[in-house]
């Protein structure tokens, strides 16, 4: 399974080959998320992954554990997915939206 650091997120935000996916619940996403990310809660990810086509998902959660688990599960299904180490709590880039405290 591939991982990226939270510092690397900004490098992928405008790359159409990748899609930032927030695997937290919608309320958490609304509170704080990375600009351009879509909210696909962990529980629905497997059912919705086919809709991404060849786009590679970059998964993040609050602290990195859930996104890592999700990436492993997608890998078992034959998909390539990256997980953000440390989750949104580790992200300090300029594209953070919502409550930054």
DSSP string, the chain: -EEEEGGGHHHHTT-TTEEEEE-S-HHHHHHEEETT-EE--HHHHHHHGGGGTTPEEEEE-SSSHHHHHHHHHHHHTT---EEEETHHHH--STTEEE---
Q: What is the pLDDT of residue 101?
A: 54
Question: What CATH number has the domain spanning 2-98?
Answer: 3.40.250.10
Average pLDDT across the chain, whole number: 95
Task: Look up tokens 């919502």; give the residue.
Answer: 98
Q: What is the pLDDT of residue 28?
A: 98
> Does the pLDDT of residue 100 top 70, yes or no?
no
pLDDT (tens digit, 9 = 90+) per residue, 31-71?
A: 999 999 999 999 999 999 888 889 999 999 999 999 999 99
Q: Model's pTM, two decimal places?
A: 0.94
Domain boundaries, the chain: 2-98
């Amino acid at each position: 399974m591939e991982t990226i650091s939270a510092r690397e997120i900004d490098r992928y935000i405008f790359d159409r080959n990748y899609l930032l996916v927030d695997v937290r619940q919608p309320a958490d996403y609304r509170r704080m998320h990375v600009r351009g990310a879509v909210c696909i809660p962990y529980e629905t990810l497997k059912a919705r992954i086919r809709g991404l086509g060849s786009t590679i998902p970059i998964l993040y959660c609050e602290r990195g554990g859930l996104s890592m688990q999700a990436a492993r599960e997608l890998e078992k299904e034959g998909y390539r997915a990256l997980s953000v180490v440390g989750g949104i709590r580790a992200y300090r880039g300029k594209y953070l939206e919502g409550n930054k405290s």
